Structure 1
Amino acid sequence: MAVPPSMRFDFVNSPAIRYFFAVAEAGSFRGASEQIGIAASAIHRQIGLLEKQLNVDLLVRGRRRDGVKLTSAGELLLYRVRLAMHQIGVALQEIEGIRGAASGKVSVATTDALAQDIFSIFLRDFSRRQPNIRVEMQILDRRRLIDALVENQVDVGLCFDLPVRVGFRSLAEFQMSSSVLVPVDHPLAGRAHTTLGECAQYPLALPIEGDNLRGILNQIQIASRIRPRVVLSTNSFVTMRDAVAADVAISIQTRLRGAFANRDPRLVYVPLKDTIARYSLLTCCVPAGRQLSPEAGLFVQDLLQALHEELPEV
C-alpha cells in the first residue's frame, strides 16, 4: 500500500524512530536518554515531530512528562519497528556470512544421471550458502571416474557400484533399489514388480560392455537361455532414459528417493525382484590420503548431509 504524501517521513535519516524505540523500551524519556546518550529534550523534540508528521499521538506522557505509555498507534509502530530491526539484524548476519565465507574451487566427478538428479538440486542450495565457492564438475563413466579419483584429479566422486580399490576411500554408501524403467503406457508399467527374464523380451537400452549391470544381464542370459535384444548401448544413463521416454527401449536403472527422485511423467519405475540385481550402492568417495581444502571439506560435509536426509545409508 502506498504511503500518502502527507504521511511520508524520512525514516532512514531521521533519528525519530530510534528515539521512539528507545523510549518505548525504557518506559520513560529519562531512561531512554541514559541508554542512548541523547538529551531528553532532543528526544522529546524528535518524537513530537514524528507525531506531528503522522498526525497521531504515539505516547501518553505522564504528569511530569517523564514516564510514558504507548497509545494504540504507538503499540502498532513499536511492533513494526521490532520486526524491521529483526530483519535488518538477519540481513547483517547474512552479509557477514558472505564476507567471511570460504572461497575457491571444488572439483567433482559424477555420472550424467546423478548430475541431473542430485547435483542440480544440491548445488542450488549450496551456492546460496557458499556463493564464493566455484564447483567444477566432470561428467564421467564409472571407469574414468575411478581413474580420476586414483590419480588425484578430483576432490570428490559420486557414483554407483564402485569396486573396493586402493587409491580412494568411501565416505558413505547408500543402498538403492534397482528398477526397470519403462514408458508410462508399456505393458510392464502397471506391474508391482518384474524380473530380468521378463525384461529380456523387450528391446533394451543398456550400459556398455564392462559395466556391472551389463555383466549381471549376461549372467541372466546364460542362466535363462534368453538372449536380450539390445537396441542401444551407451555409457550415458540420461541417454538411456531419453530412449525409454521415446518408446525405443526399456532400461534398468536405479531409482532415487525423496527430493532426488526422477519425476518425469513419461516414465515408470518397476521394481526388480531378481536377487542378483535388486540393489545398487551409491558411493561418495574421495582420493585416498588427500587432505581436503576448506572449501572441499564444506562441500563434502553439505553433500553428505543432503544425502543422509534423503537416502537410506548402508
Structure 2
Amino acid sequence: MALNFHQLHIFYTVAEKGSFSHAAQALHMTQPAVTMQVQSLEEYFGTKLFLRSTKRVELTEAGRTLLPYAKQSIELIKETGIRMSRFTHMLEDRLHLGASLTVGEYILPRLLGPFSSEYPNISVSMKVINTKQILDEVLAHQLTFGLVEAEVHHPDVHTEAVLSDELKLIVPRNHPLAGKESVTVEEMLHYPFVLREQGSGTRTVMEEELERAGYDRDALKIVMELGSTGAVKSAVEAGLGISILSQSSVKHESALGVIQVKDVEGVSFGRSFHAIYLNSTLLPISAVTFLTFLREKDLSQWL
C-alpha cells in the first residue's frame, strides 16, 4: 500500500475535530469510510495514530509526530493549486459560488466577463443570496465557497479578504449638498437617510465608522429602510433621502447625473469583500483559479 494525500487529509481533519463523526461531517463522508482510511494509514505506518474513547479521540505519540507533516502536505497542495492555476486556460470545469447582494449584483458581473475571456473553458454558476445564507450553504457543502461583504467568524470556515471597496455618500442631483465638493458629517446628519436594513454589510460598515469617528448612530435621521441596494438608489434618486452606498453600485446613476457621489470629511467607509470556504475543503482548481484572478489582477480597470 502506498501513502496518499487523501489519507493524510482525513487524518488531519480527525485530529483537528477530535472526533471521527465530526470529521466525517466536515469531509462530507460516512463515518465508516473515515475510520477505514485512518486504519489504512495506521497499517501503513505499523502503529496506532489515535487513542479512541467514547467521547473523544486523542493523538498517540506517533500521531502527534505525523500531525505537522500532514498539515504541511495540505498547505503544499493548496499552494500548488494556486501556483498552477495560471496555467489552467484549457481546463474544462464548472465554478459554482455564492455571492452576497452587493458583490453579486454590482462587483462580480464586471469581473466575470474578463475572467471568462481569460479562462473560456470554465463555466460559472453564481447564486446571489445574503451572507448568512451563504455561510449556511458552505457549512452544508451546498456551496464550494462564497464571496461576502464582511468577515465571517466561524471555527470551521476560512475567511480571506480578496477585494477592496469604499462606500460614499450619495445624494439626488437637486439636493442642497449636490453642489459641494465634500461634505462634513455634521452637514450630512441634517438630512433624512434612506438605508439598507439592519444587519446588512453596507449599513454595518457605515455605522461602525461613524461610531469610530465619535458620532452616535442614533443621530442619523432614518426615514426608510430597504432590503436592496437597488431600492435604496431608486429612493435617493426620487429625492426621499440621502444614503451611504458602495461607490461601485452607483457608477451608472452617477454617469447619468441622477445621483451625486460625495466624500465625507474625516471618515473613510472602506471595507473588504471576503472569500469564505470550509477549512477542511480543498478547493477545486476552478475555484483556486478564480480566487487567484481576484488576488493578482488589477481589478480597477473593470470596476
- TM-score interval w.r.t. the shorter chain? 0.5 to 0.7
Among 285, 300, 303, the residue aligned to 1:310: 300
Q: Which amino acid aligns with 1:206?
A: L
Among 263, 267, 270, the residue aligned to 2:262: 270
CA distance in 1, matches of 2:177, 2:92: 49
Match of 1:157 in 2: 146
Q: Which amino acid aligns with 1:303?
A: L
Give the drift of 1:289. Answer: 2.5
Q: Which amino acid aligns with 2:160?
A: L
CA distance in 2, matches of 1:152, 1:183: 43
Give the drift of 1:214. Answer: 6.8
Alignment pair present for 1:279 and 2:270:
yes
Match of 1:133 in 2: 122
Distance 1:127 1:273, change over 3 A: same
CA contact 1:209–1:215 (8 Å) conserved in 2: no
Among 237, 244, 247, the residue aligned to 2:239: 247
Match of 1:89 in 2: none
CA distance in 2, matches of 1:225, 1:300: 35
| Structure 1 counterpart SS, 2:120 | coil
Distance 1:141 1:224, change over 3 A: same
Give the drift of 1:213. Answer: 4.1
Give the drift of 1:204. Answer: 1.7
Structure possessing the higher radius of gyration over alpha carbons:
1
Q: Which amino acid aligns with 1:111?
A: S
Among 197, 220, 234, the residue aligned to 2:226: 234
| Structure 2 counterpart SS, 1:145 | helix
Match of 1:295 in 2: 286
CA distance in 2, matches of 1:225, 1:207: 14
Q: Which runs of 5 or more residues in structure 2 are unaligned?
A: 1-86
Distance 1:300 1:226, change over 3 A: closer
Match of 1:180 in 2: 169
Among 167, 174, 179, the residue aligned to 1:190: 179
Match of 1:7 in 2: none
Q: What is the percent sequence identity of the aligned residues?
A: 19
CA distance in 2, matches of 1:116, 1:225: 27
1:190-225 Cα shifts (integer Å, max 9, x gaps): 3333344433332322121234247549959x9559
CA distance in 2, matches of 1:128, 1:232: 41
Give the drift of 1:252. Answer: 0.8
Alignment pair present for 1:119 and 2:108:
yes
Distance 1:297 1:194, change over 3 A: same
Distance 1:292 1:108, change over 3 A: same
CA contact 1:175–1:280 (8 Å) conserved in 2: yes
Q: Which amino acid aligns with 1:102?
A: L
Q: Which runs of 5 or more residues in structure 1 are unaligned?
A: 1-96
Give the drift of 1:102. Answer: 2.0
CA contact 1:112–1:238 (8 Å) conserved in 2: no
Q: Which amino acid aligns with 1:230?
A: I
CA distance in 2, matches of 1:218, 1:209: 15
Decide which moves more: 243-252 or 279-288.
Answer: 279-288
CA distance in 1, matches of 2:126, 2:106: 14
CA contact 2:206–2:244 (8 Å) conserved in 1: no
CA distance in 2, matches of 1:225, 1:239: 22
